[in-house]
Amino acid sequence: MARVLILGAGISGHTAALAAKRKLGKQHEVVVVSPNSNYQWVPSNIWVGVGRMTTKQVIFPLAPVYKKQGIIFKQAKAVSIHPEGDASNPKQFVKIQYVTDIMKGQEESVEYDYLINATGPKLNFEATEGLGPDLNSHSVCTYDHADKTWEELQKCFAKMEKGETQRFVIGTGNGMATCQGAAFEYSLNIAFELERRKLLHLAEIIWISNEYELGDFGMGGAYVKQGGYVTPTKIFAESIFKEYGVNWIVGSAVQKVEPGLLHYENIEGEKLTLSFDFAMLIPAFSGVGLKAYNKENEDITAQIFASNGFMKVDADYTPKPYEQWRASDWPSIYQNPTYENMYACGIAFAPPHTISKPMISKNGTPITATAPRTGMPSSVMGKIVAENIAEQIKTGTKEHKHRASMAGMGAACVISAGYGFARGKAATMTVFPVVQDWEKYPKWGRNLKYTVGEMGRAGHWFKWAMHYMFMYKAKAKPLWWLIPE
């Protein structure tokens, strides 16, 4: 009997767990370790943050689903990986620490035959002084953050109903942040809610981002087909913001957040400030802090993980100028190069470099949108890693029949702009591939047949349907595997 150990139960880890168990059946074990008791459909946290959904609508408890599927679940935090075992145990294992009240603080060594690191990121609020929901800004990165953000947003609405003006600052809270799409979507939903309440005339909405230009979204921007014309995402994003009355500041790194005031530096090296009444700023991401040790108990963390804490996989990490970056630099099977039975998928793997061109200010401050790998790409990665491992276990081979490089993978992004059957709209954008391949598509970097964008109500209905469809799938309801990633 083989054991597949999965660290993390987010979109990538949960997908991997369900896929692995379905392929392996009762003959082999699938074990999931996660400090969270609930699964959350992260894309819908946006709606929690504006009061359009409750937390109960975007989460469900993991334990009953895993029990029904025959998956072993341990609510614990992974502390360290021992890919060679140690002096007392020659079998490879992960040391975990339980977080539940009954067993809180207790440690256990969980052995594995195959390991999938799908821990996701640490929300690195501390990388920016004063940033975060416990300090001076808000977040929609988790359902509890989003719920608290909605509480604070209502206070702003109450002030506006008394005639007070309010400034809303939405965007990224660090020069190396990612997930611009989530913040972009949140700004549009705030604009929608203000308009619905007839309060928009009392509001100023400002977008602040580390993107070199609007519409970069951490993927170097794109050219999309829209209405028969080829349009850069810069124009696409600008037109949406103009329609919703959102102003923007780009090429900026937020460096400090005080109550009602943020300090930022722009590409020109200028140190500026911006006052606010409400700020929702996405933090930088980093690895969760896993350590690694060899059989002599020597620290090999730097060998297994990149400097940002994400696990190294089959990517080309050779430092080289931007002009020499290639689509082939990106991983396709997410296997660790040192230990072939270890994999990392979703946000947990270390990208070889950013997708957007790296930028620094005149003072030397990095201001670059880092590579997005959430949502659809994370799910696809989790599935192919699980399927490759399952087939290796069942056949006794080391083959990888399934591949999912971000340089050969498409992704769809639906950015809602409101909520409701009759009034909501959404910006729908698909890109193929996620990472530009200038050798294969020398004119645009991507295949314009599958790289399109449009704004309308149909996209909103699709976003709404996706919420229920993917929650159904994540709950492993009948025929869940027929729903595509």
Could you read off the pLDDT of 326-361 as tens digits, one per residue?
999 999 999 999 999 999 999 999 999 999 999 999
Does some domain include residue 8? yes
CATH of the domain at 31: 3.50.50.100
| 3 state DSSP class of 305 | strand
Structure-block tokens of residue 112:
């594995």
Specify the number of domains making up the chain: 1
Could you read off the pLDDT of 406-452 as tens digits, one per residue?
999 988 888 888 777 667 777 778 889 999 999 999 999 999 988 88
Does some domain include residue 342? yes
Does some domain include residue 111? yes
Could you read off the pLDDT of 104-136 as tens digits, one per residue?
889 999 999 999 999 999 999 999 999 999 999
Percent of the chain residues topping a pLDDT of 70:
99
In what order do the strands lie in the sheet containing 261-266?
252-258, 261-266, 271-275
pTM for this predicted structure: 0.96
Could you read off the pLDDT of 213-226 as tens digits, one per residue?
999 999 999 888 77
Does some domain include residue 314? yes
392-408 average pLDDT score: 95
Does some domain include residue 178? no
pLDDT of residue 105: 84
pLDDT bucket at 194, cuts 50 / 70 / 90 = very high
In angstroms, the CA 471 to CA 468 distance is 5
**Distance of CA 417 to CAs 141, 187, 390, Å?**
18, 8, 40
Could you read off the pLDDT of 310-330 as tens digits, one per residue?
999 999 999 999 999 999 999
76-85 average pLDDT score: 97
Residue (of 286, 422, 375, 305) closest to 44 by Cα position: 375
Q: Let me know if 102 is exposed, middle or buried by CB neighbors in 10 A (0-12, 13-18, 19+).
A: exposed
Does some domain include residue 445? no
DSSP tag of 322: G
Parent domain of 82 = 3-123+286-395
Rg (CA), the chain: 22
pLDDT bucket at 395, cuts 50 / 70 / 90 = very high
Q: Let me know if 76 is exposed, middle or buried by CB neighbors in 10 A (0-12, 13-18, 19+).
A: buried
In the numeric block, the tokens 């689903």 are attached to 65
Contact 227, 247 (CB under 8 A): no
Does some domain include residue 60? yes
CB atoms within 10 A of CB 294: 15
* Residue 227, Ramachandran bin (φ over 0: left; ψ between -120 and 50: alpha; else beta): left
Could you read off the pLDDT of 250-270 as tens digits, one per residue?
999 999 999 999 999 999 999
